[in-house]
Amino acid sequence: MIDLKQLRENPEHVQARLKTRGEFDLTPILELDRQQRELEVERSQLQARSNEIGKRVGQKMKSGAKPDDPEIQSLRDEGNDVKAKLSELEPQEKDLKAQLEAILLTIPNVPSDTTPLGKNEDENVEVKRWGDEYLPKNSDILPHWEIGETLGILNFERSARIAQSRFVTLIGAGAALERALIQLMLDKQIAAGYTEISPPYLVNTASLTASGQLPKFADESFKCDRDDLWLTPTAEVPVTSFHRDEVLSSDELPKHYCAYTPCFRREAGSYGRDTRGLIRLHQFNKVELYKFVHPDTSEAEHQTLLRDAEAILQALKLPYRVIELCTGDLGFSSTKTYDLEVWLPSSGKYREISSCSNCKDFQARRGNIRFKEAGKKGTQFVHTLNGSGLAIGRTMSAILENYQQPDGTVQIPDVLQPYLGRDVL
């Protein structure tokens, strides 16, 4: 969540930056914060007076005063009044804190000062393109779902019978291709210094709240009604909470993790979009990259994260471009994001395959993830970064199209052939 101290000290700047994302009125937050702090001061003063009264009564009793001494009785009466006031103030303060937190949880991250201004995806900024020499020469390319079904490696019709639409069953070489991609991605990121973890696929409400999925994206997630558990929409969620409510040593930073998980999303806001193929499924697999870092290094770590995700596309020789998202297109928890978009020749478009985001201390505040530096008082919040490295289904779709041959076969990228044990589908 956003930093209340920063908001108090510079409300105009925070409001102005948030306005670039949409309309967010911070006045109720500032008012609730003012009321809560006033109550906190009053409660602290009353608590101090209560302690002082108790101390004076104890001192007088030790010096021989009787319990029914008028002065002692007066102090006790005052003490009872103070306690009564405290009993009224404490629930009021608790209620104000709850109201304040409930609103704060709905406010997105403040965009970085270096994030381009813009209202929507049309104003995103292209940073670079890579791999033009690998653009397919064949102009008659079938969509990946057609070539996949023709090759007998994808089946959507039977999957809808098993579950519903927006699911797929991978068959034979299709299943093997997915496993090969997962292993390739993990191997490369482990070699780049990431520690692999395999987290739970079911996560609790606190985990979804810490990463920023709740409360905003509740309708996008699948919930187990009888438990406080949800199917994870991305490994970002469990990995964020891997260090929730912990104080790390600065010597432990940075921490780099990679995690393969299935991901589950309702895609509630995508009615009519990408109804065919592997682009927008309710269940898909992904390798996630995640970092817990010192605030001083988070911008540099963001660039490295982006390069680590790019490295997979480059190894597969898939043409792509890098897009810097404008303020109006940022994800809820992000302050700065680069999207990787891979070329899909059947549609003649670049499509998102990874988002690499710097969340700074936004998720760390929600998850209470801090660190302490030796010789310094207090703690600081870590900065968190995440990125897909990559979405497996979208990578498969790009391979099926970019490596499609005129005779209807699909060439396997050189780097994948040792994993798959074949060079063609």
Residues 6-54 pLDDT 10s: 999 999 999 999 999 988 889 999 999 999 999 989 988 888 888 888 8
Minimum mean pLDDT range among 57-61, 144-148, 158-162, 326-330:
57-61
Angle separating helix axes 70-104 and 27-62, nearest 10 degrees: 160
- Residue 84 is predicted with a pLDDT of 87
For range 330-336, the mean pLDDT:
97
Between 288 and 59, the higher pLDDT residue: 288
- Residue 396 is predicted with a pLDDT of 97
Catalytic-residue membership of 394: yes
Catalytic-residue membership of 220: no
| Annotated active-site residue in 17, 21, 244, 394 | 394
Catalytic-residue membership of 221: no
Residues 97-155 pLDDT 10s: 999 999 999 999 999 999 999 999 999 999 999 999 999 988 889 999 999 999 999 99
- Residue 271 is predicted with a pLDDT of 61
Decide if 238 contacts 232 (C-beta within 8 A). Answer: yes
Flag whether pLDDT at 72 surpasses 70. yes
Please report which confidence band the pLDDT of residue 70 belongs to, taking 50, 70 and 90 as the band edges: confident
Query: Which H, E and C letters describe the chain, residue by residue?
Result: CCCHHHHHHCHHHHHHHHHCCCCCCCHHHHHHHHHHHHHHHHHHHHHHHHHHHHHHHHHHHHCCCCCCCHHHHHHHHHHHHHHHHHHHHHHHHHHHHHHHHHHHCCCCCCCCCCCCCCCCHHHCEEEEEECHHHCCCCCCCCCHHHHHHHCCCEECHHHHHHCCCCCCEECCHHHHHHHHHHHHHHHHHHHCCCEECCCCCEECHHHHHHHCCCCCCHHHCCEECCCCEEECCCCHHHHHHHHCCCEEEHHHCCEEEEEEEEEECCCCCCCCCCCCCCCCCCEEEEEEEEEEECHHHHHHHHHHHHHHHHHHHHHHCCCEEEEECCHHHCCCCCCEEEEEEEEECCCCEEEEEEEEEEEECHHHHHHCCEEECCCCCCCEECEEEEEEEEEHHHHHHHHHHHCECCCCCEECCHHHHHHHCCCEC
pTM confidence score: 0.91
Q: String of b and e for 254-292 (b: at least 16 CB within 10 Å)?
A: bbbbbbbbebbbbeeeeeeeeeebbbbbbbbbbbbbbbb
Flag whether pLDDT at 269 surpasses 90. no
| Annotated active-site residue in 112, 211, 333, 355 | 355
Decide if 195 contacts 228 (C-beta within 8 A). Answer: no
Mean pLDDT of the chain: 93
Extents of the domains making up the chain: 27-104, 121-420
Residues 168-213 pLDDT 10s: 999 999 999 999 999 999 999 999 999 999 999 999 999 999 999 9
Catalytic-residue membership of 280: yes
* 294, two tokens: 């010192």
Residues 348-407 pLDDT 10s: 999 999 999 999 999 999 999 999 998 899 999 999 999 999 999 999 999 999 999 999
Flag whether pLDDT at 96 surpasses 80. yes
Superfamily of domain 121-420: Bira Bifunctional Protein; Domain 2 (3.30.930.10)
| Annotated active-site residue in 265, 365, 366, 370 | 265
For range 211-220, the mean pLDDT:
94
Residues of the chain with pLDDT > 70, as a percent, come to 99
Flag whether pLDDT at 415 surpasses 90. yes
